[in-house]
Amino acid sequence: MSETVLVTGSTGFIGSRVVEALVRHEVPVRVLLRPESAASGRSPAGVEVCRAAYGDPEAVGRAVEGVGRIIHLAGVTRAIDEAGFMAGNVAPVENLLRAVRERNPGLERFLLVSSLAAAGPALSATPGVRERDRPSPVSAYGRSKLLGEEAAMRFAKEVPVTIVRPPAVYGPGDRDILEVFRMMRRGVLVSAGSGGRQRFSMVHVDDLVEGMLAALRSDAAVGQAYFITSPFPYGWDEVVEAARPELGFGRLLRIGLPTPLVFGLGTLLGAASGLTGKPALINRDKANELTQDFWTCSPEKAARDLGFTARTPLGEGVASTLRWYKEKGWL
* Cβ contacts of 102 within 8 Å, gap of 6 or more: 61
Under rule CB under 6 A, residue 15 binds ligand NAP: yes
Q: 109 pairs with which residues across the strands?
A: 69
* Cβ contacts of 276 within 8 Å, gap of 6 or more: none
Provide the minimum distance between the beta carbon of 251 and ligand NAP in the complex, in angstroms, as a whole number: 29
Which of 193, 200, 178, 228 has the alpha carbon at shortest distance from 73?
228
Provide the minimum distance between the beta carbon of 155 and ligand NAP in the complex, in angstroms, as a whole number: 18
Under rule CB under 6 A, residue 129 binds ligand NAP: no
Under rule CB under 6 A, residue 295 binds ligand NAP: no
How far apart (Å, rounded) are the C-alpha atoms in residues 329 and 50? 32
Pick 87 or 268: Cβ nearer ligand NAP: 87
Pick 11 or 321: Cβ nearer ligand NAP: 11
Provide the minimum distance between the beta carbon of 33 and ligand NAP in the complex, in angstroms, as a whole number: 5
**Interaction mask 87-106, ligand NAP, x per CB under 6 A:** -x---x--------------
Which of 82, 78, 103 has the alpha carbon at shortest distance from 91?
82
Provide the minimum distance between the beta carbon of 88 and ligand NAP in the complex, in angstroms, as a whole number: 4
Figure out which of the listed residues 75, 120, 211, 317 binds ligand NAP, where binding follows CB under 6 A: 75
Under rule CB under 6 A, residue 9 binds ligand NAP: yes
Provide the minimum distance between the beta carbon of 13 and ligand NAP in the complex, in angstroms, as a whole number: 4
How far apart (Å, rounded) are the C-alpha atoms in residues 7 and 142? 22
Mapping DSSP to helix (H, G, I), strand (E, B) and coil, where does residue 192 land? strand
**Interaction mask 22-51, ligand NAP, x per CB under 6 A:** -----------xx--x--------------
Q: How many chain residues interact with ligand NAP (CB under 6 A)?
A: 23
Pairing of strands 161-165, 225-227: parallel
Sign of CA dihedral 81, 87, 88, 94: positive
Element (H, E) at 206: helix 205-217
Pick 88 or 317: Cβ nearer ligand NAP: 88
Under rule CB under 6 A, residue 5 binds ligand NAP: no
Residue 149 near residue 323, CB atoms below 8 Å: no
Residue 270 near residue 290, CB atoms below 8 Å: no
Under rule CB under 6 A, residue 211 binds ligand NAP: no
How far apart (Å, rounded) are the C-alpha atoms in residues 113 and 145? 9
**Interaction mask 107-126, ligand NAP, x per CB under 6 A:** ------x-x-----------
Cα angle value 109/114/115 (rounded, 5°)? 150
Pick 90 or 184: Cβ nearer ligand NAP: 90
Under rule CB under 6 A, residue 302 binds ligand NAP: no
Question: Interface with ligand NAP by CB under 6 A: which range of 8-16, 59-67, 119-127, 234-242?
Answer: 8-16
Residue 169 near residue 203, CB atoms below 8 Å: yes
How far apart (Å, rounded) are the C-alpha atoms in residues 69 and 28? 11
Amino acid at residue number 134: R
Residue nearest to ligand NAP (CB): 12
Under rule CB under 6 A, residue 12 binds ligand NAP: yes
Q: Which residues bind ligand NAP (CB under 6 A)?
A: 9-15, 33-34, 37, 54, 73-77, 88, 92, 113, 115, 166, 168-169
